[in-house]
Chain A
Amino acid sequence: MSFWWSAHKNASGARCRPRALDDLHYHPSLSARLKSLAASGDFPHTYALLRTIRHWEEDTVTCTLRQLFGPGVEKVKIDQCVFLSPLKRKIEVNIVQSNFHIEITPSEAGNYDRVMIQELLKEIAQTQQVDLNAKQRFKVVIINEADSLSRDAQAALRRTMETDMSNMRIILCANSTSWLIAPIKSRCLLLRVAAPSDTEMQTVLTRVARRTCFDLPPEAAQEIIKDSGGNLRKAILVLEALKMQSPDLSGPLTIAKPDWETYCQKVAVLVVTKQTPARVMEIRTKFYELLSHCIPPTVILKAGLTVAEGIVSQVDKTLKAEIMHWAALYLCAEVRMRIGSKKIYHLETWVVKVMSLYKQSFYQFDISKFE
């Protein structure tokens, strides 16, 4: 069974991952742009901004590298790097590198990402490319999750980006630019990578199906696209899973949800059905269960919000206005969670607040006097 799985994965997941810029099937204008940049040999610092679809931008970056340096970049090795923090604590991080590029995820180093950026970039910036056959004189540094870089680490990037440009180019990948400081933004070229549209996803899915020699009924494709929400990797994986379940992909399709998602939904149902202190206690245990399985609290909140909304709007159309309130509460909780340290407090505040709001509007009962 497992063999089949991996074989199949190869068939649709890996084989269809694009390897050259020409193979990228969406955003043709962006591909053309990158190709011309790579060809000119004068590649700027870049930051790619993208949403929800990590995989796509990864592919864009690898394809760009391939265009820049040739097939050599595909020979990668994973190294472990050790840094000393200012207090002589050892920090170990994994880096992926080839002869021409190096890929780091500074958020691995936690609070010490500044040290990592300083040490690593200095080291790279001060060494010249030794391979004389290399197409480019510089090395490319890919910084993943740049939007979780601390302010200090970003400041550490600033001058290095200018002074050592001859030896190194930096590609920052981020989901949002809000957290990046203005001096960094003013030194980079921005590439906006939009999520693929529904039709583009349809094309890709059909192409994957054709490569693996079966036909994908359009209804099934639509169903999968709706479920994936713009995430192409998820769509392809779901397609694989479905293909395993029912080889001809006909009849009603049930797309399996991850179990934590169903668990979150259960919690949301609990919130809406009954609002008592006992229920809050019950939910607390559930939250702990989720948190101890490393589900990020923002994800829990988000899942809870959508599910609760769904239930409420089914029950009562007039409660629509309340939903806006809920979202606002969610936002409060989310922002506080980022700054605070103990996640469970904020999760519970949200639950209790939502419960009280719900009760208020349901029984037309104004408790604002008691506050």
Chain B
Amino acid sequence: MFFQPKTATVKATTQKHVVDPALQPWVEKYRPKTIDDVSAQEHTVAVLQKTLTSTNLPHMLFYGPPGTGKTSTILALSRQLFGPDNFRNRVLELNASDERGISIVRDKIKNFARQTPRAQAVASDGKEYPCPPYKIIILDEADSMTQDAQGALRRIMETYARITRFCLVCNYVTRIIEPLASRCSKFRFTPLDTSSSTARLNYIALAEHIDVDAAVIDALISTSSGDLRRAITYLQSASRLSSSTTPPTPITPMDIQEIAGVVPDPVVHDFAAVLGIDMGSMTVDEPKGTQKGFEPIQKKVKELMREGYSASQLLTQLHDLIVLHPTLNAREKSKCAIVLAEADKALCDGADEELWILEVALRVHKAVSP
């Protein structure tokens, strides 16, 4: 009786560090293991390949939009350089979830940077690793480091350059102070092109034994706009949803759109029609004499907001619709663009969504009505 729980605990401790792969997010599960696996980014991969053979690695600065493989690349590279056994003591990874004020730079980073790299441990998996005589410090999400902390890094980077390499990873290269940026060789990560995203998504779908047709992949790529991580997250969510219903239903492009929070096209078209944008045949047989003006617009906006659509998403889609519109002239389009840009700024500052959508609606209405 008493022993039962105890044996259970023993079992639990033995399996402690094993994460059930079925529960792992696919983003982690299918993170590239070697830098050859990194999708797209041929230029970066080609340069980094060279460093694998020579023992020379510059300080690096990776920048680019989210989900393009920056963190994956550097992790894969260091893993290939050092192998699993040396990885622990040769690589220090700090990200925005760690305290990275100036004190940490002075203590933790400096201490790690000045240690002489330890002798190479024998690789337990029997493979040969180059294991060059330096350590790597990865500063992930470096654009959220304060100016002071970045300033403190400057000299450290130079003094210990012989035994330590830095890799800064960030979204906005402009947030990195100039002296730091000039010490690194920069690698720009571009949003993924369609073919490589498709290939990767298909590979994952195959490995996970789920059926996806081309339409679903297209929907994934168009909603994620070059962000592979987002596409994979969506795919995983969609497959979870579809497989857990009974009986399992195939994934449809509609599912993807709902998960991605995209406002359905008919809703956007309706909205545009109320604003007085000529939707031609696209509108759902609306009577010609619908009243335009303040009240119907206000009513429509209220309705949209109660449906819970995201304002920024709505603006993006409205923008696409206006910019690609066949009959609006350039002046009208540019007026609309100004309005949309202002609204985007305001929303980023945290302004009230409903009122800004109303404002956009009214001003677009004014711009397009003769």
Contacts and interface: CB of A to CB of B under 8 A. Distances in A.
Contacts of A278: none
Interface in A142-193: 147-148, 151-152, 155-160, 162, 165-166, 175-179, 182-183, 185-190, 192-193
Given A118-B97, A190-B259, A324 B294 contact: yes
Interface stretch (B35-43, B52-60, B309-317): B309-317
Interface in B294-342: 294, 305-313
Contact of A158 (B16, B95, B241): B95
Contact of B353 (A176, A185, A195, A197): A176
Contacts of B237: 44, 189
Best-buried of B23, B244, B308, B353 by chain A (most CB within 10 Å):
B308
Given A40-B243, A188-B233, A331-B351, A194 B23 contact: no
Contacts of A335: 346, 349, 351
A151 B229 CA distance: 21
Contacts of A253: none
B171 A177 contact: no
A160 B97 contact: yes
Contacts of A194: 306-308
A166 B349 contact: no
A155 B359 contact: no
A39 interface: yes
Contact of B311 (A160, A176, A189): A176
Given A42-B240, A338-B350, A158 B308 contact: no
B141 interface: yes
B227 A118 contact: no
Contacts of A367: none
Interface stretch (B24-32, B116-124, B154-162): B24-32
B306 A230 contact: yes
A32 B255 CA distance: 14
Interface residues of B, number: 67
B97 A338 contact: no
Contacts of B171: 183
Contacts of A137: 20, 23
A109 interface: no
Contact of A118 (B99, B309, B353): B99
A159 B95 contact: yes
A186 to B, nearest CB: 4
A179 B236 contact: no
B359 A178 contact: no
Task: For chain A, give the interface size range.
Answer: 35 or more
Interface stretch (B4-12, B129-137, B198-206, B270-278): B4-12
A283 B86 CA distance: 70
B266 interface: no
Interface in A335-359: 335, 338-339
Contacts of B98: 118
Nearest to B231: A186
A218 interface: no
Contacts of B305: 51
B216 to A, nearest CB: 16
B16 A178 contact: no
A156 B145 CA distance: 11
A51 B240 contact: no
Contacts of A179: 347-348, 350
B97 A158 contact: yes
A132 B28 CA distance: 26
A33 B309 CA distance: 18
B269 interface: no
Contacts of B349: 335, 338-339
Interface of B: 5, 8-9, 12, 16, 19-20, 22-25, 27-28, 65-67, 95-99, 101, 103, 140-141, 144, 171, 224, 227, 229-230, 233, 236-237, 240-241, 243-245, 258-261, 293-294, 305-313, 346-353, 355-356, 358-359, 362
Q: Which 8 A-B pairs have the closest CB atoms?
A: A36-B244, A186-B230, A159-B95, A155-B96, A178-B347, A194-B308, A155-B144, A160-B97
19 contacts: A36-B241, A39-B244, A40-B243, A40-B244, A41-B23, A42-B240, A51-B306, A122-B97, A128-B16, A159-B95, A175-B353, A176-B347, A178-B312, A178-B350, A182-B65, A189-B259, A194-B307, A331-B352, A338-B351
Given A52-B306, A179-B348, A331-B355, 10 more contacts: A118-B97, A132-B8, A132-B12, A137-B20, A155-B141, A158-B141, A182-B227, A189-B237, A194-B307, A338-B349
